[in-house]
Structure 1
Amino acid sequence: MMNAQEKLKERLNKNLHICVGLDTDLNKIPSHLFKTNEPILEFNKIVVENTYEDAAAYKINFAFYERLGSRGLDIIQKTLEFIPKNILTIADAKRGDIGNTSEMYAKAIFEELNFDSITLHPYMGFDSIQPFLIYKNKISFLLALTSNIGANDFEKIKSSEGKFLFQHVIEKSNEWNINKNLGIVFGATKIEELKENISLFNELYVLLPGVGAQGGSLEDVVKTFDLNNSKNYLINVSRALIYCDTSKNFGEAISHTIKEYNRKVVPN
């Protein structure tokens, strides 16, 4: 069975960099799906069926499922069954707590749900991250510079050393990446900061949210990584992809759209 790093490497070597964000919202899915027993699950199934050949990964945003309680967790588990086993799955759960609590979160995500990777916030320090890092065949993405406006509130505060907080996160991520199972989250909306800091990423995996609805430019991100001879990145697209069409043929529209994104990653 392939581990997380092998799954990701295989897709990236095929020049597949689009991560499909399953931020599935009942208020946005096509109305005809409400005739099915579980509209969210049916929606996710159709999305996966029409993207798996072109996707580098799937990111499930826990907020959209946890709001449904135990039913939401059941939908997560069943959605994972639709995703081919050779494609990376990301639990976008943004965990991070004191050691014994993080240990339980890690067991839940990596053992019970069997995700390949997770998003974490690093602001409680190494002991909050370590329980995830002991899973050498999984990947943990630490929030560095996020795509939202509020990133300026804390992530861009300068320390006495003259570095931004997010730069300290990148530095520590490199330091902690002994088993090559760490990555960072870096917003695609922060293209100037990406250009200025990409040389610091080294062997870290990079997950870039913010393309599409948040205004990030896929072309600018790809160009930046190409100029630095790096393929070690995932561009997450959620709303702009999965809600690109609301007709009964929305699956075909999604399939066409992800192919268009891939063509922009590797121009003919």
Structure 2
Amino acid sequence: MNRQELIDQIQQKKSFLCIGLDVDLAKIPTYLLSEEDPIFEFNKQIIDATHQLAVAYKPNTAFYEAYGIKGWLALEKTINYINAKYPEIFTIADAKRGDIGNTSSRYAKAFFEDLNFDAITVAPYMGKDSVEPFLDFENKNTILLALTSNKGGMDFQTLKTPENELYKSVLKTSLTWKNSDNLMFVVGATRPEYFKEIREIVPNHFLLVPGIGAQGGDLQSVCKFGLTKECGLLINSSRSIIYAGKEKDFALKAQQEALKIQQEMEIILNY
């Protein structure tokens, strides 16, 4: 999916909601555990109930890898289902990969070619040659971890360097890499005060923003400085949507929670 197709979808749905598919078998409705593939069945119902409200889905691969081959097969079935039934949806593999060039090229092939995700999250710590193999893929997006919402993110990301805080150096340096137009950046919603300065460095790139909902991030605060003329934001919400219900109507409950966010987004986009 190219950038304009994502923008068109945002405008059509009046939404920039990304739903995180972070499936924990201990949290899904117990009746699903009797299914042959409870992870996929849970995802399928969530997707069918929310696809008109969301522009992206983001499975965190750790939640699938934790269940071994069965989990990985459930991930494969999930991405195949989205691509076949809802091809307009932007898909993100939240895999946080990042390794030397040859290894990164294998990761990129796995997620972009074999699984056919539109984007993957990547850690920038190993620098240019660990990221550029992902950027080589046309109409695929590499989402670089820039300023994360976790408490320990401040251990390194905001350290002062001679010129900038470290996360600013990551942003500025990444723009010099080959095919940097294919970059997006992760910026946590729990730190909305940083968005103004981030937008001064990357005024037009899309930002993937986790932390809305269960983590306490505020949508209005993020949009105040993060929103662009083309929107430029993908706001991720996971637990507060997918675990909104624990009974057989869990997908309806998820739809209702997603609708609340979408309606707020529509107001912001129309403002």
Query: Quick check: TM above 0.5?
Result: yes
TM-score, length of structure 2 as denominator length:
0.93
Q: CA deviation at 1:194?
A: 1.6
Answer whether contact 1:174 1:204 (CA < 8 A) is retained.
no
Partner of 1:192: 193
1:13 equivalenced with 2:16 (yes/no): no
The answer for the alignment partner of 2:204 in structure 1 is: 203
Q: 2:96 aligns with which of 94, 97, 104?
A: 94
Shift of 1:230: 5.0
Aligned 8 A contact 1:65 1:73 in 2 = yes
Contact 1:4 1:88 in 2 (8 A): no
Tell me if the contact between 1:147 and 1:188 (Cα under 8 Å) persists in the aligned partners.
Answer: yes
What is the CA–CA distance in structure 2 between the aligned matches of 1:177 and 1:60, rounded to whole Å? 27
The SS at the match of 2:220 is: helix
Question: Partner letter of residue 17 of structure 2?
Answer: I
> How do 1:1-150 residues align onto structure 2 when only pairs under 5 Å count?
3-14=1-12, 15-83=14-82, 84-150=86-152
- Sequence identity (%): 44
Aligned-residue Cα RMSD (Å) equals: 1.5
Q: Name the aligned partner's letter for residue 5 of structure 1.
A: R
What is the rounded CA distance, in whole Å, between the counterparts of 1:4 and 1:122 in structure 2? 23
- The 5-angstrom pairing of residues 166-181 of structure 1 reads 166-176=167-177, 178=179, 180-181=181-182
Secondary structure of 2:64's counterpart equals: helix
User: Over residues 187-240 of structure 1, what are the superposed CA-to-partner deviations in whole Å (9 max), with x where a residue is unaligned?
Assistant: 0111111233222222211100111111111122223334x5450110000001
1:224 and 1:230, CA in 2 relative to 1: closer, same or farther beyond 3 A? farther
1:138–1:129 CA distance, 2 compared to 1 (3 A): same
Code of the residue aligned with 2:214 in structure 1: it is A
- 1:39-69 CA-to-partner distances (Å, cap 9, x unmatched) read 1111000000011111110001000001111
Partners of 2:241 and 2:255 within 8 A in 1: no
| 2:17 and 2:56 in contact (8 A); partners too | yes
C-alpha distance 177-147 of structure 1, shift in aligned 2 (>3 A): farther
Q: How does 1:156-171 map to 2 (within 5 A)?
A: 156-161=158-163, 163-171=164-172
The total of aligned residue pairs comes to 264
Task: Report the CA distance between 1:170 and its aligned residue.
Answer: 1.2
User: Is the contact between residue 19 and residue 59 of structure 1 (CA under 8 Å) also seen in structure 2?
Assistant: yes
The 5 A counterparts of 1:229-248 are 229=229, 231-248=231-248
Verify the 8 A CA contact 1:7 1:88 in the aligned structure 2: no
3-state SS, counterpart of residue 266 of structure 1: helix
TM-score by length of structure 1 reads 0.94
SS at match of 2:190: coil
Q: Deviations over 1:170-193 (max 9, x none)?
A: 112322364621110000111111
In the TM superposition, residue 86 of structure 1 has moved relative to its aligned partner by 1.4
Unpaired runs of 5+ residues, structure 2, are none
User: Partner of 2:95: helix, strand, or coil?
Assistant: strand
Residues of 1 paired with 2:261 and 2:204: CA distance? 25
Supply the distance in 1 between the matched residues of 2:7 and 2:229 (Cα, whole angstroms).
15
Contact 1:12-1:232 within 8 A present in 2 as well: no
Worse-matched range after superposition: 168-177 or 55-64: 168-177
| Corresponding letter in the other structure for 2:173 | K
Q: Which residue in the other structure is 2:253 paired with?
A: 253
> Which residue of the partner structure matches residue 182 of structure 1?
183
| Structure 1: gaps spanning 5 or more residues | none
CA–CA separation in structure 1 for the residues paired with 2:134 and 2:111: 9
Matched-pair contact (CA < 8 Å) for 1:97–1:124: yes
Tell me by how many angstroms 1:104 deviates: 0.7
